[in-house]
């Protein structure tokens, strides 16, 4: 979902820089640094402690009015600020997460995730071949997977973004199965220009597509 348009690392960083500039205009000299997955900031837990939300069974930060479909990024500054109290939220009794997820990366009781079984990890971060054990278990995901967000009831509160940079390249959504199977480096460069899909790269995406196609043929 996050990778349809331009790379959020750049889009969000620009917004943080604007925010820092606005802050300086408002309060004077402020030193700060922006982080968008660019340093090991434990952002999910800091966000929880800052009162933004709580950790859901799917291990993601849940905002009471936005679910989990948002980005976390940080502006670390040398101003002391007040803080909200952390959310102490009683979760409704939900069925065990594994009954609603097809992939087995989460522990049944939730709150812990084995990333090495997560399709997002396998299709984006893994540099080697996708292990055979996952053949036939990845549905049609070729880059990432949002199922643990899709099944989260809090995401009924999420709303569509209004950021033009996140709109997909017009040709991307029109691509047919055969076009994905025969994806060339040229088409990849065009539809994913400036996109976070470049993290997997052309070869990585081809590997993922091939893995799915071989499943269909076997």
Distance CA 182, CA 178 (A): 6
45 is catalytic: no
Site for ligand SF4, rule CB under 6 A: 101, 103, 105-106, 113, 118-120, 145, 147-148
Least Å distance between CB 58 and ligand SF4? 7
Nearer to ligand SF4, 100 or 198 (CB): 100
Residue pair 215/136 in contact by the 8 Å Cβ criterion: yes
Least Å distance between CB 114 and ligand SF4? 9
Nearer to ligand SF4, 103 or 207 (CB): 103
Q: Which residues contact 121 (CB under 8 A, 6 or more apart)?
A: 115
Least Å distance between CB 66 and ligand SF4? 18
List 7, 37, 114, 146, catalytic entry: 37
Nearer to ligand SF4, 125 or 171 (CB): 125
Least Å distance between CB 116 and ligand SF4? 10
Q: What positions carry a catalytic annotation?
A: 37
């Amino acid at each position: 979902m996050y990778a349809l348009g331009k790379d959020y690392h750049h889009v969000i960083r620009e917004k943080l820089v604007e925010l820092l500039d606005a802050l300086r205009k408002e309060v004077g000299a402020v030193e700060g640094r922006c982080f968008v997955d660019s340093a090991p900031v434990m952002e999910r837990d800091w966000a929880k402690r800052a009162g933004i939300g709580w950790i859901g069974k799917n291990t993601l930060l849940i905002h009471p009015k936005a679910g989990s479909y948002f980005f976390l990024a940080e502006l670390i500054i040398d101003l002391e600020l007040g803080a909200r109290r952390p959310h102490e939220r009683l979760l409704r009794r939900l069925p065990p997460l594994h009954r609603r997820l097809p992939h087995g990366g989460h522990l049944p009781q939730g709150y812990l995730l084995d990333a090495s079984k997560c399709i997002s990890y396998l299709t984006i971060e893994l540099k080697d071949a996708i292990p055979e054990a996952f053949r036939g278990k990845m549905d049609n995901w070729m880059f990432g997977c949002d199922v643990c967000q899709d099944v989260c009831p809090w995401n009924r509160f999420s709303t569509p973004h209004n950021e033009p940079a996140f709109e997909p390249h017009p040709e991307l959504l029109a691509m047919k199965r055969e076009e994905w199977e025969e994806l060339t480096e040229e088409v990849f460069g065009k539809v994913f220009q400036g996109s976070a899909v470049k993290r997997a790269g052309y070869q990585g995406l081809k590997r993922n597509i091939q893995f799915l196609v071989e499943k269909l043929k076997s």
